[in-house]
Amino acid sequence: MAKSEELVIPEERIMARIFLLRKEKVMLDFHLAELYQVKTKALKQAVRRNIDRFPDDFMFELTQEEWSVLRSQFVTSKSDWGGIRYPPFAFTEQGVAMLSSILRSKRAIDMNIAIIRTFVFLRRMVSGYKDIMRKLETMERKYEGRFKEIYNTLNYLINPPEGEKRPIGFKRKDEKEK
């Protein structure tokens, strides 16, 4: 790939392949293999040859139970038809970074950069949400529960009690007398 050619992978495509497992954001081996344009078997072999580079906080193999829960989210063929036979490896952000030391193709290096940038972007988003929640909590304390009144009022307007529904609109003079 020439320098002028940029590896264009939409962030959304990478984000769609990041899952939360065991309280960690991870990517699965077959998704990484797809992005690196290598066979999953080759990726796993390279990892096994360099297993010392992948401690448990960098990479772990899914349990059968974890894999069966996740498997329903993917379109995979049955194992007797050439599909995924074994639970995949899950790589944390650090594991993905370590992959760049064992997969040395230009594509793998460029993909690792894109993936790490996506992990960093997600971390910043989460940090931003935490800041917003802190500010809301501060405002709630400052205004002594007035937000609760607003929430209750909005809830009442959205879901009024059953017995109090009134018809919407104007009544004609002859209807008011009834």
CATH of the domain at 94: 3.10.260
pLDDT of residue 4: 36
In the Cβ-directed half-sphere of 90, how many Cα atoms lie within 13 Å?
A: 22
The encoded tokens of residue 126 equal: 């989460």
Tokens describing residue 123 = 């971390």
Quick check: is 171 in a domain? no
**Are residue 145 and residue 59 in the same domain, yes or no?**
no
pLDDT score for 113: 86
Q: Which amino acid is at 162?
A: E
Same-domain pairing of 86 and 151: no
Structural domain range at position 150: 133-159
At 77 the pLDDT is 47
pLDDT for the residue numbered 140: 72
Q: What is the pLDDT of residue 164?
A: 58
Residues 105, 54 share a domain: yes
Length of the chain: 178
Do the domain assignments include residue 40?
yes
pLDDT at residue number 2: 42
Tens-digit pLDDT profile for the chain (178 aa)?
444 345 567 788 888 888 888 888 999 999 999 988 889 999 999 999 999 999 999 999 999 888 888 877 665 544 444 456 778 999 999 999 898 888 878 888 888 888 888 888 888 887 777 777 777 777 777 776 666 777 777 777 777 777 655 666 777 777 665 5
Is the domain of 153 the same as that of 101?
Answer: no
105 and 153: one domain? no
Residue 175 placed within a domain: no
Rounded-to-integer distance, Cα 54 and Cα 59, Å: 6
Residues 6+ apart with CB under 8 A from 1: 7, 106, 107, 110
pTM over 0.85: no
In terms of domains, do 105 and 148 share one?
A: no
Q: Are residues 140 and 82 in the same domain?
A: no
Residue 1 lies in a domain: no
Considering the domain architecture, whether residues 101 and 149 belong to the same structural domain is answered as no
Q: Are residues 23 and 85 in the same domain?
A: yes
Q: Please tell me the total count of domains within the chain.
A: 2
For residues 29 and 44, the answer to whether their CB atoms sit within 8 Å is yes
